[in-house]
Amino acid sequence: MSQAEAIAGRNILVVEDEYLIARDLAEQLEMAGANVLGPVATVDAAMRILDRHERVDAAVLDVKLMGATVYPVADALRRLGVPILFATGYNRDALAPAFQDVLLCEKPLETSRVIHILCEQFEHSSSA
């Protein structure tokens, strides 16, 4: 399966409070064929998206959002079985213990790397 096939039509939630990063990531995901949910900059906005949408295929989450953490969103996504990728300036050791196993892409972000990681997750889940 090609990257284009793996991500095409997938609903990807983007939670990022830095406008330029959020915009760039959303644009690149859309150019790759994904449907972007958001981007949003707060936990409340992300939770509203989860309440409204029937299907979220994956999420790219910044860990710190205007002083809050994105962990409530990550918890909700885990309960739904949605793959999570943290896009953050923090290294793995700075993550809460409950989230040490979450995929991580450190900032500064390379959007092509984010897309590659998401595609690998989709390919892995479709072959499982």
- Tell me the pLDDT of the chain (128 aa) as tens digits: 677 788 999 999 999 999 999 999 999 999 999 999 999 999 999 999 999 988 999 999 999 998 899 999 999 999 999 999 999 988 899 999 999 999 999 999 999 999 999 999 888 776 65
Q: CA 49, CA 13: separation in Å to the nearest integer?
A: 8
pLDDT of residue 126: 66
pLDDT of residue 54: 86
Pairing assessment for the beta strands 84-88 and 64-65 based on DSSP bridges: unpaired
Q: CA 107, CA 100: separation in Å to the nearest integer?
A: 17
- What is the pTM for the complete model shown? 0.94
Give CB contacts under 8 A, 24+ apart, made by 90-93. Answer: 90/63, 90/64
Domains of the chain: 3-127 (3.40.50.2300)
pLDDT of residue 17: 96
